[in-house]
Amino acid sequence: MAERVAILLAAGVSSRMNTKLPKVLHEVTGRPMLAYVLDACRSVGVSRIYVVVGFGAEQVKERFADQSADIVWVHQPQQKGTAHAVMCCGEHLQNFEGQTLVLCGDGPLIRAKTLQTLIEKHESGQSAATLATAILDDPTGYGRIIRDDYGNIQGIVEDSDCTPAQRAVREVNPSYYLFNNRVLFRALEQVKPNNVKNEYYLTDALSVIIATGHKVMAVTAVRPEEAVGVNSRAQLSVASKIMQHRVQQELMENGVTIVDPENTWIDARAKIGQDTVIEPFVYIQGEVRIGRGCRVGPFAFLRDGSVLQDDVVLGVFTEIKNTTLADGVRARHHSYLGDADIGRNVNVGAGSITANFDGEQINRTVVGDDCYIGSGAVLIAPLVLKAGARIGAGTLVSQDDAEKLGGKG
């Protein structure tokens, strides 16, 4: 079997995003775009991933520092186009005898399954290059797939270089390809910046490969959503919406009830157990874990680092952050629980809060099992409440007060 590597293009300036942040670090349902593309590559098996960085290179490298064991960072000093970006990998890959996947860091919606199909087609057809195509209602901005009268692909023409007839073509290039590496690098040598933008286009390498008589195949009509490239904030929101739909679909398949998917937002990193019900207007942000049989919302805000064990009820207008709620906790109305460990079966009364920030630092609150916290209590951290303690409604509780309270040790 041929060895396979991947090249991810992530050096672009992203002027249309109007941003100082490198485009591939913009988040889609809580994760940077590039993370999804890396996932897709890894899931089809690649021995190394060459990530081409340029604009904001240091930021990109830093963000992925802890998951870069298989990444080779390649610098593209000037952004002279997608073909030029691939050429920058030449010093590593010039003589590599294997398959090279090329993907764009701004295409987070690529699915592993589609890449797998691409690989299978490439291998069974003994193709020199295999691309995907998609049919879009509005192909504006994308490279158009140009075919001859027999339906054979002749090449790809970028939107800005299209004739009116070409512009009307709705079959576009989603921009992921699998190449015979040697064929790719030989073709790149012939790519010239003969276009409106004066850039070296990777799409022209395909035309060269076709023109020199190599076999080029296509996986046609992949799902339109898998062609969405993020060049603007508007496209970022489109990609986010589609990804959100995927996140929720998967959760529902795993036995989670989402009462009103349109009015619910769940981070891609969240984990939710079977038979938990997510009521409308719930926002789950960051790494949040929710166990089985919980009821969350409506109107709840769950932030990074929160854990709900099983059978927890978190009701209306409750916010939790970096907090663990053990089995059976009830916090039904208007609470803020930050940086806390709340024990089993604790009842948190309406409007009770942890005062976790003293103006200088964040402090923790620990509430033992079976405590009862009356409505409107303020738990002033740092605070440890013994198991079984009862806090009356409207009480301010500091550690000194807690020492005087009863409890079970």
| Residues noted as catalytic | 333
Question: Could you give the C-alpha distances from 210 to 53, 150, 178, in angstroms and in order?
Answer: 29, 15, 14
* Strand ranges of the sheet holding 265-266, from the earlier edge strand across to the other edge: 265-266, 283-284, 300-302, 318-321, 336-338, 353-355, 378-380, 396-397
Which CB sits closer to Ca ion, 229 or 368?
Answer: 229
Q: Return the SS3 of 50.
A: strand
CA 346 to chain centre: 35
82 interacts with ligand UD1 by CB under 6 A? yes
**Closest CB to Ca ion among residues 224, 229:** 229
10 interface partner picked from Ca ion, ligand UD1, none, CB below 5 to 8 A per type? ligand UD1
| Footprint of Ca ion on 201-230 (CB under 5 A) | 229
For ligand UD1, what does the binding mask look like between residues 365 and 404, x meaning CB under 6 A? ----------------------------------------
Q: Are 352 and 379 in contact (CB under 8 A)?
A: yes
Residue 102's binding partner among Ca ion, ligand UD1, none (Cβ under 5 to 8 angstroms by kind) is: none
Binds ligand UD1 (CB under 6 A): choice among 30, 32, 108, 143: 143
Q: Is 80 in the site for ligand UD1 (CB under 6 A)?
A: yes
Q: Is 278 in the site for ligand UD1 (CB under 6 A)?
A: no
Q: Among residues 202 and 308, whose Cβ is nearest to ligand UD1?
A: 202
State the CB neighbour count (10 A cutoff) for residue 42. Answer: 14
Q: What DSSP state is assigned to residue 187? A: H
Choose among 163, 150, 214: nearest CA to 185.
214
Query: By CB under 6 A, is residue 9 in contact with ligand UD1?
Result: yes
Binding residue (CB under 6 A) for ligand UD1 from 51, 57, 104, 379: 104
156 binds ligand UD1 (CB under 6 A): yes
The listed partner (Ca ion, ligand UD1, none) that binds 79, CB under 5 to 8 Å by sort, is: ligand UD1
- Locate 331 and state its tokens: 């916090």
278 binds, among ligand UD1, Ca ion, none (CB under 5 to 8 A by kind): none
- Min dist. Cβ of residue 62 to ligand UD1 (A): 17
Region of 29 on the Ramachandran plot (φ > 0 left; ψ -120 to 50 alpha; else beta): left
177 binds ligand UD1 (CB under 6 A): no
Q: Indicate whether 10 belongs to the interface with ligand UD1 (CB under 6 A).
A: yes
**How far is residue 211's CA from residue 227's CA, in Å, rounded to a whole number?**
25
231 binds Ca ion (CB under 5 A): yes
The amino acid that residue 113 corresponds to is K
Instruction: Considering only residues 12 through 51, tell me which ones interact with ligand UD1, judged by CB under 6 A.
Output: 12
From ligand UD1, Ca ion, none, interface partner of 80 (C-beta below 5 to 8 A by class): ligand UD1
Q: Cβ closer to ligand UD1: 12 or 338?
A: 12
Number of residues that bind ligand UD1 (CB under 6 A): 29
Task: Compute CA distances 117 → 38, 114, 144, 220, 292, whole Å.
Answer: 17, 5, 21, 11, 36
Residue 301 as a binder of ligand UD1 (CB under 6 A): the answer is no
Contact between 175 and ligand UD1 by CB under 6 A: the answer reads yes
Contact 47, 4 (CB under 8 A): yes
Shortest reach from residue 104's CB to ligand UD1, in Å: 4
Q: How many CA atoms lie within 13 A of 388 on its CB side?
A: 4
Q: Which of 96, 43, 95, 48 is nearest to 74 (CA)?
A: 48
Measured at the CA of 399, the angle between CA 311 and CA 356, to 5 degrees, comes to 60
Interface ranges with Ca ion (CB under 5 A): 106, 229, 231
Interface ranges with ligand UD1 (CB under 6 A): 9-12, 52, 76, 79-82, 84-85, 104-107, 142-143, 156, 158, 172-175, 201-203, 229, 231
